[in-house]
Structure 1
């Protein structure tokens, strides 16, 4: 007998949605120079975007284009991406600090047309933000979301035509959370959570079916206030707080789907995941803290004298530099507030060489090396995301 739950499998595509899908596909084909990549050009995938954006075609086209350009810039492409993700050079070094679910899509429910993954909340938020640049963490979250999407797209290729979009179910374990660490909405780690949540809500709409929060702190009212900072009202409705862990496999999900740790029957036996299917993280120490400007040291140069720029509220500043043939770029910056940052060739924002990310630098500067930009004009774009305050920017770009 199936488990009764408020959230059921996503509905099949309606006749009205089929018409909308054709319209949004035509708009995307017209505005994207290289068209829509085959893997994401499916009716079910475009249906997720339509539902997530409530049919707002212009917003879909704008965000879809930025997502595709950022995905390409990050290198998150290829038929084998789901298998190679954890070994990528920008991902692998940080896995020891993140409890990542390694279940892939093995915990699958036909009833829900969804698979399950587990995530454990940060246990050391103040240390965490000293170990990762904002872009490091966003690359991990971006790549992980893309991996889940690729697993979804594979499932959808095999399913019958009368089914709706595939989704995933999340068990989010709050056992290691000290809720008082999250009281200040302006703290660095609160902002990082908010930015991470924006990314998956903007670029991966309607992929989540249900979020089960297990081992919640006692201050549930404060927990909801924190959640409202991160999530849209629509996604808040997908949250179920499980105060009594055994209820998860009694009232909400079938026991065979739920890991034993959360009251179910499933025990993972495939490394590197633990019995729940989550990789084991280690404690962060001061020796793990990120050391800035090492890319200059490794290339045998001193950091050049930085430039400064005041960016007016809601305005953009674009710095352009011509890179000679056979040369590479080293860069870094700090900003006094939140900034939308991107690097692209010439004037073509669809030709990103660094993903378009919402960044903060109040704990660590942003920096990097671009190796494949020789014989090109490269644009660094900084958009002040505040509508009220001037953004004070300090930046350095070096050709080597």
Structure 2
């Protein structure tokens, strides 16, 4: 196995950092890049940079996921399982239960910025990647993720408009998960779909890549529990669905569904006192960097309003004299579908004196021009 990894790294031209340096990851990245050397090299290099920027290099999410700042603010409004290492012994995958029904996702788009919501997806992806790597180390066999997606009481017709604020953000989040974690998905088991099953599949076909879409299994309500137990071991299936997994005395978790008990969504995004006075237009595929000279100890705060999907990051140029820009805020695609109510805002403490950059890129490949308004202050 070590020899296979070393040969793979020779082709890449760089070493894969621990704990990612496993033969199972080699196989996953090879499939993800369709065995094309340049594609594989690009995928891994982007992922390593992304993982470092979102701060999960040395983060033990199996222990800290629920209390992670990017998770804690969002998870309280959702219904999903949070226990790590729930292993489906039938196929060695780890299990996630999702219950979208009853959550007003439109309200989330008025409460959180797109970066906050997308960072939740990033943490969720990393959480399950860490579980998969851990299970592979324990078992010696390739693992993956099985998702049980319960559509009971989910008003899917409320989410058919692709231009609604939450759907714009949701599609960016799903695209992120598919870019870096697609090969982890083992099964997407859809239950309680009832008469909306066709609409769900139509929507899923638009949002998911073919490789993810083909993992969907629609479980009939007539023999749901029996069918689920053919695909998920009893210990990894909540008792509400016919298994024996329960959560006893876990705060804000339903003991039978093993999912978090959501809070009502209240309030709105806090106001920002920075004026978005600067303007830039970006044609498809073009980039722009707003350069800001700052002194160590200052805090750089910003506001961004954009007319469409924009890749945004914050960098520090050549602070160590190596001719390289250091990524301080991860390079993620964002959107501000409610620019006046929920603009993109953030801050970073300037750890060195130097030139900082607000980096923008139009991620559209053709024709679509972006209008970006932004502003910043140093405090």
TM-score normalised by structure 1 residue count = 0.84
How far, CA to CA, are the matches of 1:179 and 1:282 in structure 2?
20
Does the CA-based 8 Å contact 1:134-1:361 persist in structure 2? yes
Residues 186 and 24 of structure 1, relative CA distance in 2, 3 Å threshold: farther
> CA 1:349 to 1:152, structure 2 compared with 1: closer, same or farther past 3 Å?
farther
Are residues 265 and 354 of structure 1, via their aligned partners in 2, closer, same or farther at CA, if it must alter by over 3 Å?
A: same
Alignment partner of 1:115 is 2:94: yes
The equivalent of 1:44 in structure 2 is 24
Map of 2:263 onto structure 1: 282
* One of 350, 355, 358 as aligned partner of 2:333: 358
Contact 1:333 1:395 in 2 (8 A): yes
Q: Contact (CA 8 Å) 1:292, 1:365: kept in 2 or not?
A: no
User: 1:134 aligned to 110, 114, 121, which one?
Assistant: 114
The answer as to whether partners of 1:73 and 1:354 remain within 8 angstroms in 2 is yes
Q: Alpha carbons of 1:54 and 1:255: their partners in 2 closer, same or farther (altered >3 Å)?
A: same
Distance 1:29 1:327, change over 3 A: farther
Q: How far off is 1:277 after superposition?
A: 2.1
Q: Distance in 2 between matches of 1:139 and 1:220?
A: 29
Per-residue deviation at 1:42? Answer: 1.5
Equivalenced residues, count? 366
Q: Which residue of 2 aligns with 1:334?
A: 305
Match of 2:164 among 164, 187, 206: 187
1:53·1:60 contact (CA, 8 Å) conserved in 2?
yes
Cα distance, 1:140 vs structure 2: 1.1
Secondary structure of the residue that 1:351 maps to in structure 2? strand
Shift of 1:269: 2.1
Residue aligning to 1:263 = 242
Q: Which runs of 5+ in 2 are unaligned?
A: none
Deviation at 1:57, TM superposition (A): 2.7
Q: Which residue of 1 aligns with 2:37?
A: 57
Aligned to 2:214: 237
1:22 Cα deviation (Å)?
4.4
Q: What's the TM-score once normalised by structure 2's chain length? A: 0.89
Gaps of 5+ in 1: 1-12, 294-301
In 2, Cα distance between equivalents of 1:394 and 1:351: 24
Shift of 1:250: 4.5
Query: How big is each residue's C-alpha offset from its partner over 1:163-218, in whole Å with a ceiling of 9 and x where there is no partner?
Result: 3x211211111123112112212222222221111111111131110011111151
Match of 2:201 among 216, 220, 224: 224
